[in-house]
Amino acid sequence: MNAPVTIRIQQEDFDTAREIAALSRGRTDIGAVVTFSGICRGPEGGDEIASLTLEHYPGMAEAEIKRHADEALARWPLQGLTVIHRFGRVTPGQNIVLVVTASKHRQAAFEAAQFLMDYLKTSAPFWKQQEGAEGKGWVEAKTHDEDAAARWTK
């Protein structure tokens, strides 16, 4: 099976439509495409987030994502997948991460996208620093993200 894998760590924004098209154009063996876009949220309930700055570990970030992409391909019958993760400064409303999965059937596409997102949250070497009215601060890792990732090892 021809399952193209695209992984990019980049500062610039991405175009979800272009990535879907790149994965599915000219193919008639794909029945389901799932996309997940992670977006920088703005202030809520008092705290003012003006921006997020994403730091990453070049080299290792790509390697970790590749490892999980390969695992996704081994676990689900995918026709292709794309993972794009930005680094640098992003402001509310802007894209942070994109996962696209393509399969014959919807269940595989949904599960693989969730699997990849859960691992990106807990295992890919990226760190978010938020900057707001009260200054800068590193975002803390969330227990529920660890829990979400753990379900795939059951």
Partner 1 sequence: MKVKYFAWVRERIGKAEETIDPPASVRTVDDLIGWLTARGETYAYAFEKPKVIRAAIDQAHVKPDAVIAGAREIAFFPPMTGG
Do residues 98 and 35 make contact, with C-beta atoms less than 8 angstroms apart?
A: yes
CA-only gyration radius of the chain, Å: 16
Q: Is residue 89 within the footprint of partner 1 (CB under 8 A)?
A: no
Output the CA angle 104-108-113, nearest 5 degrees. 120
For residue 153, the number of C-alpha atoms closer than 13 Å in the C-beta half-sphere is 8
Closest approach, Cβ 124 to a second copy, in A, equals 14
Residue 107, helix vs strand vs coil: helix
The 131-150 site mask, x for binding a second copy (CB under 8 A), equals -----------------x--
Please identify which residue in 55, 75, 94, 107 interacts with partner 1, judged by CB under 8 A. Answer: 55
Q: Is residue 13 within the footprint of partner 1 (CB under 8 A)?
A: no
Pick the closer one to a second copy by CB: 58 or 144. Answer: 144
Q: Is residue 53 within the footprint of a second copy (CB under 8 A)?
A: no
Decide which of partner 1, a second copy, none touches 81; Cβ closer than 5 to 8 Å per partner kind.
none
**Core vs surface per residue 104-126: b (16+ CB within 10 A) or e:** eeeebbbbbbbbbbbbbbeebeb
**Applying CB under 8 A, which residues contact a second copy?**
15-17, 20, 24, 26-44, 92-93, 104, 106-107, 109-110, 113-114, 117, 148
